[in-house]
Structure 1
Amino acid sequence: MKYLSLLFSMVAFISCKESSKMPAKETIDYYHLPTFVNDTLQAVIEIPAGTNKKIEYNREQNDFLVDSIKGVPRSIHFLPYIGNYGFIPSTYSNPEEGGDGDALDILVLAESQPMGTLMKVIPIAVLRLQDNGAFDDKIIAVPAQKELQIIPVNNFENISIQYPEIRKIISLWFQNYDKKDDLHIIAFNGEDTAMEIINKWTKH
C-alpha cells in the first residue's frame, strides 16, 4: 500500500507540473480584427439570431456582456433578433461626422451562430436609421460561405425581386424592437451604398 500511495503521489505531482506548463487560452481582440480579409468583409456576431438579450462586446474587458441600464439586464420586448447581429471590426462611426460613436452594426441573415463567431460575409444592403439625430446604419449581409446561406441572394436586386417581404420584415422589426420616438428609417439602400458606408467608417 505504501508503494501504491507513493506512486499516486508522484503521478499527481507530475500532472500538476505538466498542467502548469499549458499555455493560457488566447483571447481575441475582436474590435481590432481586420475589416476585410482578402477583400471579403468580416462580421463579429454579438447576438445570435433568435435571441432577446441585448449583448454587446466590451472592448475594455474583451468580453461579450449582456448590456444593462441601471443594473437591469436589457432584453428586447419584441420578437427576437431576426438575424445574427453584431459589428464590423476596425470600424468607427464618428460622431463628429454624424455617426453614433460605435462600430458599424451588421445583421447577417443566416441560421443562428454562436456569440463570438467571426464570419466572412457579403454586404447586400443597408438600412439607414437615424437615432436621436445620429446615423445608426445597419449593414445587411449574407454569409460568404455557400453552405451557411439560407436564401440564394448576393445583392440588393436579388433580395428586392425574389424576397421583397424580407426587406419589409427587417424594416418593421427595427422600427419596433426598441420603442423610441426619435428613431426614424431614412432609407433602405443597396450594396453600393453599404460599401460606401463601410469604407467611410473603416479605421485605416
Structure 2
Amino acid sequence: MAIRILYMLLIASLLTNCTSKNDVYNTPTFSKEGTLHCVIEIPGGTNKKIEFNPETHSFVVDQRDGKDRIISFLPYPANYGFIPSTLSDSSQGGDGDALDILLISESTPTGSIIEAIPIAMLKLFDNGAYDYKIICVPKDPKKRIIKATTYKSFSEEYMHAKNMIESWFLHYDIGGDILLSKGWGDEEEALKEITKSLVLKNKK
C-alpha cells in the first residue's frame, strides 16, 4: 500500500514538473529543417474549447460566464491550435493572439507539436479584428488523411471539405461573436502571414 502511494505521488510530481516546463507558446515557429510547427489545443472531434495558458504553461478549458466553454454545435472538424512564437499584431488589425491553425489529420492529442505544411488560409473577420486560420496537413505523409499539399489541389480535389470548414467557422459560435468570411488565401499567402507574424526573437 505504501509503495503504491509513493508511486502515485511520484507520478503526480512528474506530471506537475512537465506541466510547469511545458512552454510550448515559445517553441520555435519552424523546425531546424524549416518545417512549420503546430501546437494542438483541441483534438479533432472535440467540443470543449481548450486553450493554452502561457502564464501557467497548461492547457485549460476556456471559460464563458464562469462555465466551461462547450461548443454547442458540431465538434471541431480537424485539430485546432496555434503556431508557436507568432503574434497577430493588434495594431495592424490582428486579434492579438498567436496565429490559429487547423491541422487536417486524424484526431491528435492536446499538447502535441506536429510538423506541418500550410496549404491555405481562411480569412475571417471577428469582432472588428482579422482572425486568420492557417490550414495545414502533416509533413509526414503517413499522418495525412487527404492528399492535398497545395491550395490548388485542396480547392479542386477537396472543394466540399473546404466549404465545410468555412461554414463551420462561420456558424459554430452560437450566441457568441458573429464571424464574417473575407475569402481564402493560398499557401504562399499563408506563409507570408506566418512570416509577418513572427515574434521579434524569432526574426533574428
Matched, 1:134 2:120: no
* 1:110 and 2:109 aligned: no
CA distance in 2, matches of 1:57, 1:182: 23
Q: CA deviation at 1:146?
A: 0.8
Deviation at 1:181, TM superposition (A): 5.9
Identity %: 45
1:155 to 130, 150, 172: 150
Q: Give the paired residue count.
A: 188
* Contact preservation (8 Å) 2:170, 2:178: no
Q: 2:61 aligns with which of 47, 55, 66?
A: 66
Partner amino acid for 1:201?
Answer: S
TM-score of the superposition, structure 1-length normalised? 0.87
State the match for 1:29 in structure 2: 23
Query: Which residue type is aligned with residue 22 of structure 2?
Result: I
Once the two structures are superposed, residues 39-96 of structure 1 have per-residue CA deviations (whole angstroms, 9 ceiling, x without a partner) of 1000000000000000000000100000002311101111000000000000011111
For residue 166 of structure 2, the aligned residue among 164, 171, 175 is 171
Shift of 1:182: 3.8
Q: What is the aligned partner in structure 2 of residue 39 from structure 1?
A: 34
Give the match for residue 86 of structure 2.
91
Distance 1:178 1:59 in 2: 24
Structure 1 or 2, whichever has the larger Rg, is: 1
Question: 2:185 maps to what in 1?
Answer: 189
Matches of 1:166 and 1:187, distance apart in 2: 15
Query: Following TM superposition, by how much is the alpha carbon of 1:163 offset from its aligned partner in structure 2, in angstroms?
Result: 1.1
Instruction: Name which of structure 1's ranges 44-53 and 62-71 shifts more when overlaid on structure 2.
Output: 62-71
The secondary structure found in structure 2 opposite 1:125 is: strand
Write out per-residue CA displacement over residues 130-178 of structure 1, whole angstroms, 9 at most, x where no aligned residue: 1111000000000001110001110101111111111110111011111
Aligned partner of 1:98: which letter? G
- AA matched with 1:127: L
Distance in 2, Cα, partners of 1:55 & 1:194 = 24
User: Contact 2:126–2:177 at 8 Å: present in 1 too?
Assistant: no
1:57 aligns with 2:59: no
For 2:166, what is the secondary structure of its paired residue? Answer: helix
Unpaired runs of 5+ in structure 1?
Answer: 1-11
Matched, 1:77 2:72: yes
Amino acid at match of 1:188: W
**Inter-CA distance 182–78: structure 2 relative to 1 (3 Å threshold):** closer
> RMSD value over aligned CA atoms?
2.0
1:73-131 Cα shifts (integer Å, max 9, x gaps):
10111100000000000001111111101000000000000000000000000000011
Deviation at 1:25, TM superposition (A): 3.9
Gaps of at least 5 residues in structure 2 are: none
